Amino acid sequence: MRLLAGTLRYRVTGGRDSATFPEEPVIFALWHNRLCLCMKVYEGMVRPQPTHDRLAALTSASKDGALLSTILQNFGVQPVRGSSSRRGGQALLELTSWAGRGYNLAVTPDGPRGPRYVVQEGVIALAQVTGMPIIPYSCQVDWKIRVKSWDRFQIPLPFSRCEMTFGEPIRVPREATNEDRAQLGEHLQDVLLAGTRGE
């Protein structure tokens, strides 16, 4: 992953980069099919900042999640196993615990089984419970392979151009109602979709 990522040409678009993140732990949200480059981006752009040097990431409780957990650990990231269908409540408690220790959190709001590009309620609930802002992240790679999976997982080809977008922080008030949470989920979905160019 590091070798492949080292061949790409990067550009941050949208007027926000990692240098303008809130000076507090945040929740990174990205689509499931954009996972391939996320650790290299975190390692190179985000981790050097003292406030954002520790990360716990949600992975599914499946066999695929076990593989991803091993990769995360190799990058010095704390994996938390669970999903909306398996260990969801326990995973939320574990993520909240890591947040209490000053860790940033990372989730794929449409994972682990989709539907693709549809934000599930878990990330909004997590932001409400922890009080942490959500930072939407997306990347667009010109040359890539799309795997025939539910999310059309994207694998960049060497020497491609990668455009990265970090959205404005999205905050979920502690007193947010069901309607408020639904609206904020739709807003997060719109922001993340804007970074995909429909791919």
Per-residue pLDDT of the chain (199 residues; tens, 9 = 90+): 888 988 999 888 765 666 578 889 999 999 999 999 888 888 888 888 888 999 999 987 777 778 888 989 998 999 998 765 556 678 889 999 999 999 999 999 997 888 999 999 999 999 999 999 999 999 999 999 999 999 999 999 999 999 988 899 999 999 999 999 999 999 999 999 998 877 8
Q: Residue 82: what are its φ and ψ, rounded to 5°?
A: 160, 170
Task: Please tell me the pTM assigned to this model.
Answer: 0.92
The pLDDT assigned to 119 comes to 96
E strand or H helix that includes residue 92: helix 88-100
The pLDDT assigned to 17 comes to 63
Report the b/e string of 44-57 with b at 16+ CB within 10 A: ebbbeeeebebbbb
Return all residues near 23 (Cβ < 8 A) that are at least 6 apart. Answer: 51
Task: Dig out the tokens for 74 from the structure.
Answer: 């190799």
Burial status of residue 148 (CB atoms within 10 A of its CB: 0-12, 13-18, 19 or more): exposed
The pLDDT assigned to 8 comes to 93
